[in-house]
Every structure is written in C-alpha cells, then in structure tokens.
Amino acid sequence: MNWLIDFFADPARWSGPYGIPMRLLEHLEFSALALFLAALIAVPLGLLIGHTGRGHLVVVVSANLARAIPTLGVLVLFVLLLGTASIWPVIIPLVLLAVPPILVNTFEGIRGVDPELRDAAYGMGLRGGQVLGQVLVPVALPLILLGLRLSAIQVVATTTVAAYTGLGGLGRFVIDGFATQDYSSVFGGSVLIVLFALVVQFGFTLVQRVTVSPGVSRRLKVREQSPARRGNN
C-alpha cells in the first residue's frame, strides 16, 4: 500500500518524459493507433466477406491462428528483424494481432442477420450497398462493436507488454520498475494500467449505448409493449 502512495505522491512522477501524464498519453496513442489501423483493415474486410459470403476461410483461419500466437514472441521477432529505430516494428505486430477479433465478429455479425430481413430488404428494391449500410450494419452493430471492444482489450494488453521491447506507455513503469526493483513503480504502474483498461471498456459500453438502435438492443421497457399488444391485432 505504501508503494502506491509513494508512487502517486511523488511530484517527480507527474512531469517530464517519463512521468505519468506522458506515459498515459503514449499508451493511449499507441493503443488508439493500433486499434484504428486494425479496424481500418478488418471492418471493411469483415463486411465484404460477410456480405458476399466469399472468402470466409480467411476469417476462420485468422481467428484460430491469431489466438495461438504469443504476443511477446511476435514483438521480439519483429524488433529483432526490424530494429528499434521507429515504433513501426512494434506497431505492426500490434495491428496484426488486433485484426482477428474485429474481423471474426464483424463477419459473424453480418452473417448472423436474419435471412428474412435480407430478403425483405432486397425485395423492396434496396441495392447491395444499401442493404449493407442501411440494414445489415445497424443490425450487426452489437457484434461489430463487440469485436472492436475485444480487440481493444487485446491492444491495451499488448501495448503494455510492448514496453519490454522499447515502446513507451504505462508498461514502462512496470517493466523498468521490475528491472530496478522499484516496487512503487511496479505497483503504481499496474494500478494505472488496470484503471486505463477499465476506462477503455467503460468507453466502449457508452459507445454501444449511444450507437446501437433501441430496436436492436431491445432496451425499452417491456411495460410499453402491453397496451400495444393487447390492442388491435
């Protein structure tokens, strides 16, 4: 407990390139960048494969394989091969590991939409792109967001580990602290990372609340149903 107080109370911690604000910012930037790039690749790909039904083997393979690949191993591999001159040798594996959850869930989301709904949409005269954008995506949104959320978990965790291979971020408190037996740094850093992860998750919950139609999440009170149902048939 004392370690925590030591950590947060120390004014030196709150300024400078190795201070809490800086590390927090770095962690946020790297995570956001990796998630953004992963989404840029995976969402359109998932939509395309889900909508056309072609190439779903890619999804299956990527899903199974990605989970098996050890993050630390891949990070070290890339850094050994490409050096530490820029952040890219670290960002690239970060992105690659973040793609599968988004890809799989986006694909499943589109796939999972009731075929009758798809039929009705086409039957009314919507074209492929319109069906995707106006009908499939809004209905699949919960799963797409789930994929993004799972990927975010992955990204925040991997960014933490990436501190080992030279990336900045909150992981540095933990890794550097561990190496120098600076336990206040280790604990303080750990607490910060946990809080950061929780805030990110909460953020996603909010996004879900705001963007998913109540008709899809069925959040409205059941009470509203009764009068309508009992009315005319």
Partner 1 sequence: MGDGPPSLWEWTARNWDTGRAGSIRDLLGDHLLMSLVPIVAGLALALPLGLACIRWRWLYQPTAALFNVLYALPSLPLFMMLISVTGLSPVTVIIPLTFYAAAVLIPAVVDGIRAVPEHVRQSAVAMGFTPLRRLIRVELPIAAPVVIAGLRVVAVSSISLVSVGALIGQGGLGMLFTRAYQNPFLPPVIVGIALIVLLALVADGLLVLAQRLLTPWERARRTT
Partner 2 sequence: MDRRSLWVQQIMVRSWQGVAAPPESERSRVITFDAVTKRYPDGTVAVDRLSLEARTGETTVLVGPSGCGKTTSLRMINRMIDPTEGRILLDDAPVESVDPAVLRRGIGYVIQQAGLFPHRKVLDNIATVPYLLGWDRKRARGRAMDLLERVGLDSALAERYPFQLSGGQQQRVGVARALAADPPVLLMDEPFSAVDPVVRTSLQDELVRLQAELNKTIVFVTHDIDEAIKLGDRVAVLRVGGELAQFADPKTLLTEPADDFVREFLGRDRGIRRLQFVSTRGLKLRTDLTVQEGTDGHGDEPWLLATTADGRPAGWVARGRPGELEPAGTFRHGRDSMRAALDAALLSPSGHAVAVDEQGKVVGVATRQALDEALTETADG
Q: Which residues would be at the binding site for partner 1 (CB under 8 A)?
A: 64-65, 67-74, 76-77, 79-81, 153, 156-157, 160-161, 164-165, 171, 174-175, 178, 186-187, 189-191, 193-194, 197-198, 200-201
Distance CA 140, CA 87 (A): 34
In angstroms, the CA 16 to CA 64 distance is: 42
By CB under 8 A, is residue 60 in contact with partner 2? no
Measured CA to CA in angstroms, residue 23 lies from 1, 39, 106, 202 at distances of 22, 24, 32, 21
Cβ pair 109, 143 in contact under 8 A: yes
Closest distance of CB 214 from partner 2, Å? 6
Contacts of 56 (CB under 8 A, 6+ apart): 49, 50, 107
198 binds, among partner 1, partner 2, none (CB under 5 to 8 A by kind): partner 1
Residue 12 found at the interface with partner 2 (CB under 8 A): no
Given the complex with partner 2, which of 11 and 123 has the nearer CB atom? 123
72 binds partner 2, rule: CB under 8 A: no
Round to whole Å and give the CA distance between 204 and 109: 17
Least distance CB 227 / partner 2 (angstroms): 8
- Is the CB of 121 or the CB of 170 nearer to partner 2? 121
Q: What is the DSSP letter of 223?
A: G
Estimate the crossing angle of helix 20-52 against helix 88-111, to 10 degrees. 40
Count of residues binding partner 2 (CB under 8 A)? 30
Interface with partner 2 (CB under 8 A): 114, 116-117, 119-127, 130, 134-135, 138-139, 213-216, 218, 220, 224-225, 228-229, 231-233
